[in-house]
């Protein structure tokens, strides 16, 4: 089976991720749980798919560095793909993105996040662990601007994930390294391209962080993402990325341009069979700016805790809002995988053909996803 076939199957199962590696069965992540969905994949097939996906230039990059990024649109589903080497050969990590760009409400996010786009200038950060939906939240914020304001938006991504249609705003998307050799060069170029809003796919290196802060100070609204487990950790990571002798200047620069920081995690709601973001929100109030400027990042959680009147949210307060909310928006693209029982064991083997006998089931017996769903319904009826 080709990569396209596996992506189709993963989409039908409602998976968020697909993992393909030479010599092992493909694996999908449904509701945060990994499930094997077939027989081991031949190394030759993985290499053929990778070559066709990457093209000559990116393939040379893979051979030189051991990994390469790409994006693919297939049947209305856009995918972000990383190809990399492992001890078994080549492997692909595929993130299945939503078929269309949605706003905050459709992404089940609190409307207060709109404050990140309301400021005319400054730095707004969307953070969270890997796989927590940062790219989707960033796309939702861009779409909020696109539908409400006439602005020139320049987006720098590696690779381009969501593709935007110009509505009220003019959105220019640049892929690194396809359209510019590096984020550093793309940010410098963007400042000459008359942007109102600059979107930076991810802040990874100190130089990118330095240029991002400079852009936020020079009259632009900058939206950026980074990996962190909390708002305090995101701000700490920025400051600690620089040498000790200039960290005081970086903290002052960060405090002056800070619009807000949102850190999110994904929670599963069993009653709605839905994974939704749970957020922590820090806004650039006087108290928050003073805390950042003084370098007392450990006090950020206290600032958020006491900042409820200023619209700040810690994870516990946001969870209480989630418990009261009833009008969750379900994606129309959910596949049959949405019927997986919440108690399904990790790495459940799902063969291409179901077992012939469907009698009593032992622990060692191989089951497919439909059988698991049927078994769960039988237990529920009893």
Write out pLDDT tens, residues 36-54.
988 899 999 999 999 988 8
Q: Are 18 and 42 in contact (CB under 8 A)?
A: no
| CB-neighbour burial class of residue 229 (10 A; exposed 0-12, middle 13-18, buried 19+) | middle
Domain limits, CATH 3.30.450.90, in the chain: 1-99+333-382
pLDDT digits (tens, 9 = 90+) for 343-372: 334 554 444 433 333 333 333 334 455 555
Q: Report the b/e string of 133-145 with b at 16+ CB within 10 A.
A: bbbbbbbbbbbbb
Q: Where in the chain are all domains bearing CATH 3.40.50.300?
A: 111-324
Report the topology of domain 1-99+333-382: Beta-Lactamase (3.30.450)
Q: Which of 70-79, 119-128, 153-162 has the highest mean pLDDT?
A: 119-128
Rounded Cα distance, 369 and 35, in Å: 9
Element (H, E) at 11: helix 3-12
CATH topology of domain 111-324: Rossmann fold (3.40.50)
Tokens 């492997």 -> residue: 91
Q: How confident is the model at residue 241 (pLDDT cuts 50, 70, 90)?
A: very high
Q: What is the mean pLDDT of residues 260-289?
A: 93
Phi, psi of 294 (to 5 degrees): -80, -10
Mean pLDDT of the chain: 85
Segment 277-305, tens digit of pLDDT: 999 999 999 999 999 999 999 999 999 99
Residue 331: predicted pLDDT: 67
Distance, CA of 345 to CA of 333 (rounded, Å):
24
3-state secondary structure of 259: strand
68-72, 199-203, 237-241, range with the lowest pLDDT: 68-72
Query: What is the per-residue pLDDT for 365?
Result: 35
Which residue has tokens 């993105």?
97
Say which residue, 73 or 215, is predicted with more confidence: 215
374 band by pLDDT with thresholds 50, 70 and 90: low
* Strand, coil or helix: 276: strand
């Amino acid at each position: 089976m080709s990569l396209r076939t596996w992506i189709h199957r993963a989409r039908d199962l409602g998976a968020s991720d697909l993992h393909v590696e030479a010599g092992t069965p493909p694996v999908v992540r449904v509701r945060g749980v990994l499930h094997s969905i077939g027989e081991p994949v031949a190394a030759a097939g993985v290499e053929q798919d990778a070559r066709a996906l990457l093209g000559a230039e990116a393939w040379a990059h893979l051979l030189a560095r051991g990994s390469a990024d790409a994006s693919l649109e297939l049947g209305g589903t856009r995918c972000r793909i990383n190809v990399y080497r492992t001890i078994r050969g080549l492997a692909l990590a595929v993130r299945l993105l939503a078929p269309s760009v949605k706003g905050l409400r459709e992404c089940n996010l609190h409307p207060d996040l709109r404050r990140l786009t309301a400021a005319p200038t400054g730095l707004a950060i969307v953070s969270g662990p890997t796989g927590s939906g940062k790219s989707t939240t960033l796309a939702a914020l861009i779409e909020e601007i696109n539908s409400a304001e006439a602005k020139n938006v320049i987006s720098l991504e590696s690779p381009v994930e969501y593709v935007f249609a110009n509505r009220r705003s003019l959105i220019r998307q640049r892929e690194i390294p396809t359209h510019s050799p590096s984020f550093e060069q793309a940010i410098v170029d963007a400042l000459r391209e008359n942007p109102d809003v600059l979107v930076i796919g991810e802040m990874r290196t100190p130089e990118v962080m330095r240029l991002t802060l400079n852009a936020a100070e020079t009259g632009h609204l900058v939206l950026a993402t980074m990996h962190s487990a909390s708002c305090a950790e995101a701000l700490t990571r920025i400051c600690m990325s620089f040498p000790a002798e200039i960290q005081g200047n970086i903290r002052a620069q960060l405090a002056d341009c800070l619009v807000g920081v949102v850190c999110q995690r994904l929670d599963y709601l069993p009653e709605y069979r839905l994974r939704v973001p749970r957020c922590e929100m820090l806004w650039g109030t006087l108290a928050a700016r003073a805390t950042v400027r003084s370098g007392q990042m450990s006090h950020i959680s206290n600032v958020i805790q006491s900042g409820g009147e200023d619209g700040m949210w810690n994870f516990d307060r946001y969870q209480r809002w989630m418990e009261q909310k009833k009008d969750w928006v379900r994606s129309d693209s959910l596949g049959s995988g949405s019927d997986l029982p919440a108690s399904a064991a990790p790495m459940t083997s799902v063969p291409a053909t179901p077992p012939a006998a469907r009698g009593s089931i032992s622990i060692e017996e191989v089951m497919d996803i439909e059988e698991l769903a049927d078994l769960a319904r039988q237990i529920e009826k009893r």
